[in-house]
Amino acid sequence: MRRTSQRNCPRITRRSFTAGAGAAGLLAATGFDVARAQSGPLKVGVLLPRSGAQAGIGQDCQRGVEITPGIFKTLGLPELAIMNADTETNVEVARARAEKLINDGAQLLVGAFDSGQTTAIAQVAEQKGIPFVINIAAAPPITEQGYKFVFRNFPTAPMILSDAFANQKEVFEAGGSGPKKVVYLHVNDTFGTSMAKSLPGLLPKFDMPYEIVEAIAYDPTARDLSVEVAKAKATGADALLVTSRLNDAILITRELIKQRWTPMAVLSMGPGWYEDQYLKTLGKLSDGPLSFVPWYDPSKKLSKQLEAAFDKAYPGNNLNTNHIYTFEALLVAADAYNRARSTDPKALADAIRTTNITDNVSTGPGIQFDAKGQNDKLKNSGIQNRGGKLLTVAPKVAANAKVDWPLKPYDKR
Amino acid sequence: MAAEIYLNVAVSGLLTGLVYGLMAAGLSVIFGVVRVVNFAHGEMMTVAMYLAIVLFNTLGLDPLVMAVPLAGVLLALGYVLQAGLINPFITRPEYSQFMLLIAIAIIIVNVLLIVFGPDARNVQTSYAFDSFLIGPLIIDATKVYAGAATLVITAALFVFFQFAPLGKAIRACADNYTGALVVGLNVKHLYALTFGIGAACVGAAGSMLVLLVDVTPSLGPALTLLAFIIVITGGLGSMAGAVLGGLLIGFTEAMAGLFFTPSAKSMFSFGLLVLVLLFRPQGILGKRLS
């Protein structure tokens, strides 16, 4: 039986095995390229904190996603198939969602607003070899790990601080005075801690007119910030320097009013104070704070197009950092796909590495990445809330309004 | 640092602690009588907070005024929940009670998420930004109103349990289940009523807490945890203990934020909990279980 069976089976010789293996290898190599050649929309997994403590900002970033298709069409860029995922404002959930998106076929990832969540996603993307374009996250280590698949079109914490100090000096000069003592209130998450760590090293280099009398860290999910504001007030500081999120920015403002303290200025170096939810929740009490943040150049052609599209889609809302940088992250993805003409992760990553978009939105010369995957040419602006609008007050070259200085007392509004 | 800041922060912490105490009192009442640990306590509170927001936004009804009516609504909900869903689990192992209530909590969070979305919501009353200036003290007006309302509601509950025939009957059920049955008390109804009263505490507390904090569906689990810390500190089953626990936790967190760092506030409340568990496991005003 065994002998018969052996005789009936096709014999595998060394020669046929080698030929077969070679053919299989060739098929795999060519078939791989065929399968990944540009044939449909690029599957882009967009990870954002759509629920949890950062839900408001995550939803705001999503608006930047929603307005892309129409604009990309006019720019002649390929269509993107967006796969949405919610990080739930949780680092571990962000990691798990990134893995799931990749398993579900995402060919490129975008996200995730928060440095902690972004760090986790970057690890997954690098491990799986899937390009990851960061929309918003400022912690420097993310692009210091030698990752090959991680790209950031957003300034790092030291870049934000450097520009913030330069713009603050312009504002103080335009306002005719500046604070001598400031108290620094900051969130204790990855972003806030990065900013707080960078501050002491950078401050002396800019010869600022003020000293930081105390730094107060707090939990971004805190329900009550009365102690924090009371402590800040007790330092006798002239102004408040803050790195916050959205809900805590609202809580801080409420406490400033309740505790009858109007500092000379609220100088924010992060999100929260320019968000539409902040403006709508507090109404006229939202006027005055200055945000020194990555922003957009209103004179750029694409900025005008984006503003028009945003205004049409979300009337009554202001275009802000969340929309701009989420839009630009997708712009990087579409541009890379357009040039790579492939969904092969390596080809996409190579294309992103050689990005050179000068027709963009954000302040600065455009979008290019250095060897670490960081766009190091981005610039920030100084924004002031006034009458529910966001006006650019610094730098002078991008300003469309003069600063209103100092902060109008809360009880006289 | 000027002396008034210590006083300001202490008063603020105590007033917030009072509202927390009322929330925890509900948990304590339920456990004290029905012997069920309500793992959906914080989530029920968020339901009350959302109801207060809806009533304020649609009909302009002040959450402080709505504290009693909302307590009534939550009482009815609690009664139905206990009589219809929880009661069959009373005699089952504790882990199955835990799972049931955790499941209820998850359902509440997700329903709120579907209905209201993830954004933080709040009410903007005319007095939302008011504060009282008493010498060097600046006291948040909403906290004063909420704290005062808590004291009134707690006193009313105390009177109810001490002097009202129904309150005495509920206490009888808690003291001796078999005895209560023997004397002809409708224990099933009393259990459901007790759960309802616990839920009513949550309704009133939620109506007041919405004046102090913004609400999101994800706030529920944090409030449940807070309620547990408070009742374990004050003494599980003791209503006065819950209020005392609330005051202690509110005060500890406020002072820890002032003396150390605000981001470590929770560390100190948990530290207090560990100390209580070590040296007085039954809680400060709790009775040692035989």
Touching A: B residues 59-118, CB under 8 Å: 113, 117-118
The torsion of the CA quartet A243, A245, A251, A253, rounded to 10 degrees, works out to 50
Q: From the CA of B253, how many Å to the nearest CA of chain A?
A: 9
Contact check, Cβ <8 Å, B5/A230: yes
* Residue type (1 letter), B100: L
pLDDT at A30: 43
What pLDDT does residue B290 have?
A: 53
Of the candidate ranges A11-15, A185-189, A206-210, the one whose mean pLDDT is the lowest? A11-15
pLDDT-derived band at A323, boundaries 50, 70, 90: very high
pTM to 2 decimal places = 0.78
Q: Which residue of A has its CA nearest to B138?
A: A259
User: pLDDT tens for residues A395-404?
Assistant: 888 788 999 9
Cβ-based interface (< 8 Å): residues of A facing B = 50-53, 55-56, 58-59, 188, 216-219, 221-228, 230-231, 233-234, 246-247, 250-251, 254, 257-260, 277, 281, 285, 410
Which residues in chain B touch residue A228, judged by CB atoms under 8 angstroms apart?
A: 257, 262
Q: Is the pLDDT of residue A92 over 70?
A: yes
- pLDDT (average), residues B189-210: 93
Interface probe for A, chosen from B129, B249, B265 (most Cβ of A below 10 Å), is: B129
pLDDT at position A25: 47
Which residues, in sequence order, are bridge partners of residue A231?
none
β-strand partners of B33: none
> Does the beta-carbon distance from A231 to B258 stay under 8 Å?
yes
- Per CB-CB distance under 8 Å, the chain B contacts of A51 are 113, 118, 217-218
Percentage of chain A surpassing pLDDT 90? 69
Q: Quick one: CA dihedral A342, A346, A351, A352, positive or negative?
A: positive
CB within 8 Å: B119 and A285: no
Q: Is A250 left (phi over 0), alpha (psi -120 to 50) or beta?
A: alpha
Instruction: Characterize A126-155 residue by residue with b for buried, 16 or more Cβ atoms within 10 angstroms of its Cβ, and e for exposed.
Output: bebebbbbbbbbbbbebbeeebebbbbbbb
> What is the band of A194 on the pLDDT scale with cuts at 50, 70, 90?
confident
Which of B9, B133, B216 lies closest to A230 in CB terms?
B9
Interface pTM, i.e. ipTM: 0.81
- Residues of A in Cβ contact (< 8 Å) with B249: none
Between chains, do B265 and A285 touch, taking CB under 8 Å as contact? no
Do B266 and A219 make contact, defined as CB atoms within 8 angstroms?
A: yes
Render pLDDT for B96-131 as a digit per residue (tens, 0 to 9). Answer: 999 999 999 999 999 998 999 877 788 988 898 899
Backbone φ, ψ for residue B104 (5° rounding): -60, -40
Tens digits of residue pLDDT in B39-51: 999 999 999 999 9
Work out whether strand A181-187 and strand A389-394 pair parallel, antiparallel, or are unpaired.
Answer: unpaired
**Domain A158-298+381-412 in the same topology as domain A42-156+299-313+321-379:** yes
Min Cα distance B140 → chain A (Å) is: 6
Q: Which residues contact B43 (CB under 8 A, 6 or more apart)?
A: B104, B105, B108, B109, B220, B221, B223, B224
Q: According to the CATH classification, is domain A158-298+381-412 in 3.40.50.2300?
A: yes
The full set of domain ranges for chain A reads 42-156+299-313+321-379, 158-298+381-412
Chain A residues closer than 8 Å to B216 by CB: 52-53, 55
Residue A2 has pLDDT above 70, yes or no: no
> How far apart, in whole angstroms, are the C-alpha atoms of residue A2 and residue B206?
80
- What confidence score (pLDDT) does residue B289 get? 59
What's the token pair of residue B37?
A: 């640990």
Strand, coil or helix: what is A38? Answer: coil
Question: Per residue, what are the HEC states of A242-301?
Answer: EECCHHHHHHHHHHHHHCCCCCCCEEECCCCCCCHHHHHHHHHHHCCCEEEEECECCCCH
Probe site for chain A from B14, B114, B218, B259 (most A CB atoms < 10 A) = B218
Average the pLDDT over A41-60 and give the result. 89
**Is the Cβ of B266 closer than 8 Å to some Cβ of chain A?**
yes
**In chain B, what is the greatest distance between 2 CA atoms, to the nearest angstrom?**
63
Nearest CB to B1; choose among A56, A234, A260: A234
Residue A73 CB neighbours (<10 A): 11
CB contact B217 to A (< 8 Å): yes
Q: Do A55 and B140 touch (CB under 8 A)?
A: no
Given this model, what pLDDT does residue A39 score?
A: 65
Mean pLDDT across the stretch B220-238?
90
Show residues of chain A in contact with B141, CB under 8 Å: 258
- Torsion B27-B28-B33-B39 (CA) sign: positive
Q: CA A105, CA A378: separation in Å to the nearest integer?
A: 32
User: Angle A321-340/A68-75 helices, nearest 10 degrees?
Assistant: 40
Whether domain A42-156+299-313+321-379 has CATH 3.30.360.10: the reply is no
Å between A116 CA and nearest CA of chain B: 17
| Chain B interface test: which of A48, A87, A190, A223 (most B C-beta within 10 Å) | A223
| Out of A224, A233, A250, closest to residue B212 by CB | A224
Q: Residue A55 and residue B8: Cβ atoms within 8 Å?
A: no
Q: Tell me which chain A residues have a C-beta less than 8 angstroms from the C-beta of B7.
A: none
A67 C-beta neighbours (distance < 10 Å), count = 23
Q: Find the closest chain B residue to A186 by CA distance.
A: B263
* Amino acid B176: pLDDT: 87
**What pLDDT, on a 0 to 100 scale, did the predictor assign at position A1?**
37
Using a CB-CB distance cutoff of 8 angstroms, which residues of chain B are in contact with residue A226?
9, 12, 16, 140, 254
**Beta carbons of B120 and A231 less than 8 Å apart:** no
Q: CA dist A296 to A164, A211, A219, A244, A387, Å?
A: 15, 29, 29, 20, 20
The model's pLDDT over A250-281, given as tens digits with 9 standing for 90+, comes to 999 999 999 999 999 999 998 899 988 899 88
CB-nearest partner of A247 from B131, B214, B253? B214
Arithmetic mean of pLDDT, B4-16? 90
More confident residue, B136 or B105: B105
Q: CB–CB of B263 and A254 under 8 A?
A: no
With beta carbons under 8 A apart, name residues in chain A contacting B119.
55-56, 59, 277
pLDDT at residue A320 tops 80: yes
Check pLDDT > 60 for residue A357: yes
CA B128 to chain A, closest CA, distance in angstroms equals 8
Closest CA in chain B for residue A410? B129
